[in-house]
Structure formats: C-alpha cells, structure tokens
C-alpha cells in the first residue's frame, strides 16, 4: 500500500545507493521491488509518477519468494501500489519510479508504460467526480414525471461570470421548449460567483463546479437523470457556445429525429479526425437504451485541461459510437457547405475588390488564400470559416467565439449583422447583451 509518511533517508548531506525494478501492472496494481544498498534493516521507499504526475509513495517491504531466492533483503522488498482510477482508462500511460534520496535516483528500470481498464474503478471515479462537483439540483419547471410522458430531453450547459442568465440564454431555451423538449440546464459556476437563479424556461436545474468543461456538464446531467434515459425517444446535448437560433429549431430537429441514423450533429468536421462537432448533438432510443453512456461516463477523465476534454469528448465520441455499430447523420455536410462557400467567394472576388471597411486588398488576399486552402483539402473549422454560407443555407447559429475573438482573423465578419437580419428575425441586441457575459475586447461585426 502507499506509504503515508516521507521516506526515511540518510543523514543530512549524505546519500545512499539503491536498486530495484518496476515489474508489472496486474489487477490495476503496479508491482515491483527496491532495496537500499547501505541499510538492509530499513525498507526502501519508492516515489511513483504516472505521466509525470506524482501519484504517491510505496514502501518496499512486501514478501516475495522470488526476492527471497535471489537473496534480496530476505524477500521483504516488494511493493504494490494501486493505480489511481483516473489512469484506468485503457489508454497508454508512462511510469517513472525512483528511490528518493538515492545517489542513483534517476529511476528504476523495468516497465515504462502500461494500459489497464477497470470499469468498477472508473465508475467510482465518475461517482467521486459527480459528488464533488455538483452543488445543487432542483426542478423549477415541469416535473421529471412530465419528462417520462414527453420522451424528449435537452441538456443545456452554460458557463459565464455573471450572477444571472442572459436574454440570449433564454432565447435558446425557449426554442428548445417550443421544439417539444423537457429542458435540464446544467450551469458550471464561476469561482466566487453566487448561484444564478434558474432560467425561466428550465424544467430541471443542476449547478456544479467548473470542472470537465461541457462534456463534464453533459455527463453530470445524464447521470442526474439516468433512470429516465431508457424510456426516452430523443436526447439533445447543447451548449451556450453559439448565438441563436436564427430560425425555428422544431423543423430542423424534427428532420433529424426522423432520420434513420442513431445519432446526429448539426455539422461534421475533418479537423484532427472525422467527427460531429459537439456544440449540438442528438441521440436516439437505440443508444439511450444501451450501456453506451454508462461506459462513456466511466472512461471520461473529467480533466480541467481543455485539450484533454476535446480529445476524450468531441474527437472520440463519434468514433466510439460508430465502432459500436451506431449510425451517424449530420444536418449540414462539410463538403456541401465548403463547396457553397468557395463558389460564393470565387464569384465575389472575381475581377473586383470586395467592399470592405478597411484594407480591401489585404482582405481580398486573405480570402483568396483561404479558398486555395479549402480547395487543396486542408480541413477547416466549418462554423468559423463558412459562417456566412451556413447562415445562407439555414444554419441556426453562429459561434460566439467567432464574433467575440475572431481566432482565424477573418476579414468578412462585418457582414454578419446584415446577413443575420436578412435571414431571420433574431434580435441583434441579444449579441450585444451576450458580450457582457464574457471577456470581450470587441465584437467583430
């Protein structure tokens, strides 16, 4: 078992030599041995690291016959260390072990990498996350019994540094309600902020600490209502990273609900690997009646590293579902939207300079370079680069990050207000209202 105290070492200023070996991982336990060469009467202590994260200390005093036969401290030099559940996900992890204070403490030889999966430990890991993260739950709107009758659940997750929900949040929730969904709002609380009152359109309300990003919120919501999942016909996971909807969601969602696929997204992407973008995802009965989400919850690390969450969440979800035989669908196909965008801007730029607020030559060059990249097959973020074509094709949202940060430095965002107004009755004041909820230096409109 892990040692509870710091290891006994040599006197101040002195050091000692040690030897040992990292043998194996069996039944979610790391096994090996180590001895101090200077003092056979003192058990060595090994310091253990997994993926450069210090996970604890292990005293080397377990009896092993192989060590006895090798005349290593009478056989009492073995250690066993239970691997923390966060690393029992079936993925490869690096091991480093050393004897603190040893002059040759660069590390023990032997096993350098392992992969192990323990569903029980992973389930316990998720239960611990849920218990430690969730602050409160309530049903301010329609009861959970109504959810049973409706058969359609939307889990909406949000995060902002304000003490109340924005009007743009209410617009989203109102559209979900009109589409026939029972709504659970999962809000991640910003540090030192009071809990906002539940939004008016929410039926269920779960407030949690800000861990695990959107997927952490969605999975917490799924766990909260897990007893209802097998009886549902449809479930939508959606977040507040988009502004809108610019048009009725009922028709769009209805079309996707009628599609024979088992799960769907609004648009797909080829960045890193093929996947459905995760800001809005739908799941149907065959998945909801399976053990998929139980397994997914158990294998998700709930990391606070955004890159890890994207890898374990958005980038792996489509692959894991299709590997289990579930069929995907998308409302707007990347290839179709990219083709529309290239044709639109080829025509706009052919033989003339586009009308720009500033630096028209630079804007023209930037757009032409992007067109060449798309035609060369370089995967792009479709909700950023193709934002205007998407709106023209009936896409109901625009990415908040695009308008508030413009990470691709696109030169045509000043057209957004006019384009949104010409394709919807969306109140543009909601964009300004939303900007007050997030760190924004300017709005690219």
Q: Is 138 contained in some domain? A: yes
Give 188-209 pLDDT, tens digit per residue: 998 888 999 999 999 999 999 9
| Residues 315, 177 within the same domain | yes
Q: How large a percentage of the chain has pLDDT more than 70?
A: 90
Give 38-81 pLDDT, tens digit per residue: 888 999 999 999 988 888 999 999 999 999 999 999 999 999 99
Do the Cβ atoms of 435 and 404 come closer than 8 Å? yes
| Residues 139, 227 within the same domain | yes
| Residues 133, 262 within the same domain | yes
Look up the domain containing 310 and give its range. 120-332
Domains identified in the chain, total number: 3
Do the Cβ atoms of 86 and 75 come closer than 8 Å? no
3-state secondary structure of 389: helix
Residue 371: both structure tokens together: 């067109």
The confidence score (pLDDT) of residue 362 equals 80
Q: Report the mean per-residue pLDDT for the chain.
A: 89
Of 117, 151, 179, which residue constitutes the final position of a domain? 117
3-state secondary structure of 269: strand
Evaluate if residue 130 carries a pLDDT over 50: yes
| Residues 113, 134 within the same domain | no
Q: Is 54 contained in some domain? A: yes
Residue 43: both structure tokens together: 């058990």
The confidence score (pLDDT) of residue 155 equals 99
Full DSSP string of 39-59: -TTS-EEEEEEETTEEEEEEE
Helix (H) or strand (E) holding 204: strand 204-209
| Residues 315, 296 within the same domain | yes
| Residues 136, 195 within the same domain | yes
Of 117, 141, 171, which residue constitutes the final position of a domain? 117
| Residues 310, 383 within the same domain | no
Q: Cα–Cα distance between 199 and 187 in angstroms, integer?
A: 10
Give 296-346 pLDDT, tens digit per residue: 887 787 888 888 889 889 999 999 999 999 999 999 999 999 999 999 999
The confidence score (pLDDT) of residue 122 equals 62
Q: Cα–Cα distance between 198 and 76 in angstroms, integer?
A: 59
Of 99, 117, 135, which residue constitutes the final position of a domain? 117
| Residues 206, 268 within the same domain | yes
| Residues 166, 207 within the same domain | yes
Indicate the DSSP class of residue 8: P
Q: Is 11 contained in some domain? A: no
For 414, other C-beta atoms within 10 Å of its C-beta total 15
Longest CA span, the chain: 87
Do the Cβ atoms of 244 and 288 come closer than 8 Å? no
| Residues 86, 204 within the same domain | no
| Residues 163, 36 within the same domain | no
Identify the band that residue 357 occupies on the pLDDT scale cut at 50, 70 and 90: very low
392: buried, middle or exposed (CB in 10 Å: 19+, 13-18, 0-12)?
A: middle
Q: Is 4 contained in some domain? A: no
| Long-range residue pairs from 138-142, CB within 8 A, at least 24 positions apart, any chain | 138/198, 138/204, 138/205, 139/203, 139/204, 139/205, 140/198, 140/202, 140/203, 140/204, 140/205, 141/183, 141/198, 141/201, 141/202, 141/203, 141/204, 142/182, 142/203
CATH of the domain at 54: 2.60.40
Evaluate if residue 359 carries a pLDDT over 70: no
Q: Is 443 contained in some domain? A: no
Sign of the four-CA dihedral 109, 112, 118, 123: positive
Q: Is 13 contained in some domain? A: no
| Residues 103, 248 within the same domain | no
Residue that has been written with the tokens 């479930």 in this structure: 235
CATH of the domain at 224: 3.90.550
pTM: 0.75
Q: Where are the strands (E) in 102-151, listed by range?
A: 113-114, 134-138
3-state secondary structure of 134: strand
The confidence score (pLDDT) of residue 118 equals 67
Q: Is 166 contained in some domain? A: yes
Q: Is 445 contained in some domain? A: no
């Amino acid at each position: 078992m892990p040692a509870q105290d710091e290891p006994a070492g040599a006197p101040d200023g002195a050091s000692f030599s040690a030897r040992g070996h990292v043998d194996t991982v069996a039944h979610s336990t790391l096994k090996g041995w180590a001895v101090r060469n200077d003092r056979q009467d003192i058990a060595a202590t090994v310091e253990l690291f997994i993926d450069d994260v210090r996970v604890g200390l292990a005293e080397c005093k377990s009896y092993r016959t192989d060590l006895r036969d090798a005349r290593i401290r009478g056989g009492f030099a073995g250690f066993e260390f239970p691997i923390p559940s966060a690393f029992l996900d079936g993925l490869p992890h690096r091991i480093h072990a050393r004897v603190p204070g040893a002059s040759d403490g660069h590390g023990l030889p032997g096993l350098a990498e392992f992969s192990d999966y323990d569903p029980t430990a992973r389930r316990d890991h998720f239960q611990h996350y849920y218990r430690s993260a969730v602050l409160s739950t309530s049903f301010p709107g329609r009861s959970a019994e109504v959810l049973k009758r409706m058969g359609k659940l939307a889990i909406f997750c949000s995060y902002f540094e304000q003490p109340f929900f924005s009007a743009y949040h209410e617009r989203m929730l109102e559209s979900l309600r009109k589409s026939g969904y029972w709504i659970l709002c999962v809000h991640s609380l910003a540090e030192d902020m009071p809990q906002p009152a539940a939004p008016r359109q929410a039926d269920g309300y779960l407030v949690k600490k800000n861990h695990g990003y959107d997927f952490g919120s969605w999975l917490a919501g799924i766990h909260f209502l897990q007893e209802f999942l097998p009886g549902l016909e449809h479930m939508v996971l959606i977040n507040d990273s988009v502004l809108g909807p610019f048009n009725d969601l009922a028709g769009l969602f209805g079309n996707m609900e009628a599609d024979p696929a088992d799960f769907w997204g609004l648009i797909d992407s080829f960045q890193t690997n093929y996947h459905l973008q995760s800001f809005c995802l739908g799941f149907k009965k065959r998945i909801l009646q399976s053990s998929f989400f139980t397994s997914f919850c158990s294998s998700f690390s709930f990391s606070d590293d955004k890159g890890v969450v994207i890898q374990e969440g958005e980038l792996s979800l489509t692959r894991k579902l299709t590997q289990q035989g579930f069929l995907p669908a998308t409302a707007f196909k990347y290839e179709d939207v990219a083709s529309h965008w290239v044709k639109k801007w080829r025509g706009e730029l052919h033989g003339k300079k586009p009308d720009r607020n500033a630096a028209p030559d630079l804007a023209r060059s930037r757009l032409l370079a992007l067109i060449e990249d798309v035609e060369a097959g370089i995967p792009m973020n479709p909700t950023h680069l193709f934002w205007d074509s998407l709106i023209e094709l009936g896409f109901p949202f625009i990415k908040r990050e695009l308008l508030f940060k413009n990470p691709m430095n696109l030169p045509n965002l000043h057209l957004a207000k006019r384009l949104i107004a010409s394709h919807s009755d969306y109140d543009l004041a909601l964009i300004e209202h939303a900007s007050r909820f997030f760190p924004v230096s300017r709005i690219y409109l």
